[in-house]
């Protein structure tokens, strides 16, 4: 665990803790408000993210931006990151050893940000954060509370690009998140 952002940011520079270091252009640590009440966790950087060093800036990111606009949430208010911070080759799912090697950074981010709500975007985020016993199809749309954090699993935005029917569920889940987020903000 890293005690502060400086320690975390210094440690991840030139990280070679897993094989994903071999093909990356940039490490994508995350982006947004370091005091966010609401955090989003995706899978891993894609090609655009790898080039820019920022999360969710490609096609899936444009969908997220659209969702934020629809919900009335400013992207700069929240914090967005991924399970792995380096791009897996051909956007394959991160392997177990890679996710495990990278998890210390994510755990430290959560510890430093102290979000109230975490949206888990897709199966990779769900399984690596809450456990392998969780499945995205049955878990999505349901709040799961753990150690004072409310987790909402939902579809990964890239899944919506492949399957239109998931859009309705994704939107429903995020509306639920926005509702809860607004309740927390007025408290």
CB 59 within 8 A of CB 97: no
State yes or no: residue 41 binds ligand SF4 (CB under 6 A): no
Pairing of strands 38-42, 31-32: unpaired
- 122 Rama class: left (phi>0) / alpha (psi -120 to 50) / beta: left
**Residue 75 or 85 having the CB closest to ligand SF4:** 85
Nearest in space to 121 (alpha carbons), one of 182, 54, 187, 169 = 169
Binding to ligand URA (CB under 6 A) within 3-62 occurs at 42-46, 49, 55-56, 58, 60-61
Q: Which residues pair with 77 in a beta bridge?
A: none
Report the alpha-carbon distance of residue 125 to residue 153 in Å, rounded: 8
Nearest approach in angstroms of CB 159 to ligand SF4 is 22
The helix (run of H) or strand (run of E) holding residue 42 is: strand 38-42
Taking CB under 6 A as the rule, does residue 85 contact ligand SF4? yes
Question: From the list 54, 86, 110, 177, which residue makes contact with ligand SF4 (rule: CB under 6 A)?
Answer: 86
Q: State yes or no: residue 123 binds ligand URA (CB under 6 A).
A: no
Residue 110 near residue 39, CB atoms below 8 Å = yes
Least distance to ligand SF4 from the beta carbon of 43, Å? 11
User: How near is the Cβ of 119 to ligand URA at its closest, in Å?
Assistant: 12
60 contact, one of ligand SF4, ligand URA, none, CB 5-8 Å limit per kind: ligand URA
| Residue 98 contacts ligand SF4 per CB under 6 A | yes
Which one of ligand SF4, ligand URA, none interacts with residue 32, CB within 5 to 8 A by kind?
none
User: Could you tell me where the DSSP H helices lie in the chain?
Assistant: 5-12, 47-52, 59-71, 96-113, 123-130, 136-139, 157-162, 165-186
Residue whose CB is less far from ligand SF4, 111 or 161 = 111
The residue ranges that bind ligand URA (CB under 6 A) are 42-46, 49, 55-56, 58, 60-61, 82, 158
């Amino acid at each position: 665990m890293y005690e502060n952002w400086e320690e975390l940011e210094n440690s991840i520079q030139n990280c070679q803790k897993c094989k994903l270091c071999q093909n990356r252009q940039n490490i994508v640590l995350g982006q947004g408000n370091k005091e966010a009440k609401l955090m989003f966790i995706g899978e891993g950087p894609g090609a655009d993210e790898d080039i820019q060093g920022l999360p969710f800036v490609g096609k899936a990111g444009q969908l997220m931006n659209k969702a934020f606009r629809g919900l009335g949430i400013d992207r700069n208010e929240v914090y967005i990151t991924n399970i792995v911070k380096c791009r897996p080759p051909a956007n394959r799912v991160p392997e177990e050893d890679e996710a495990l090697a990278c998890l210390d950074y994510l755990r430290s981010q959560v510890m430093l940000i102290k979000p109230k709500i975490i949206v888990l975007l897709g199966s990779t985020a769900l399984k690596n954060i809450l456990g392998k016993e969780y499945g995205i199809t049955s878990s999505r749309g349901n709040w799961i509370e753990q150690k004072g954090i409310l987790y909402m699993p939902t579809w990964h935005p890239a899944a919506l690009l492949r399957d239109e029917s998931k859009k309705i569920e994704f939107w429903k889940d995020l509306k639920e998140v926005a509702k809860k987020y607004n309740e927390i903000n007025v408290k």
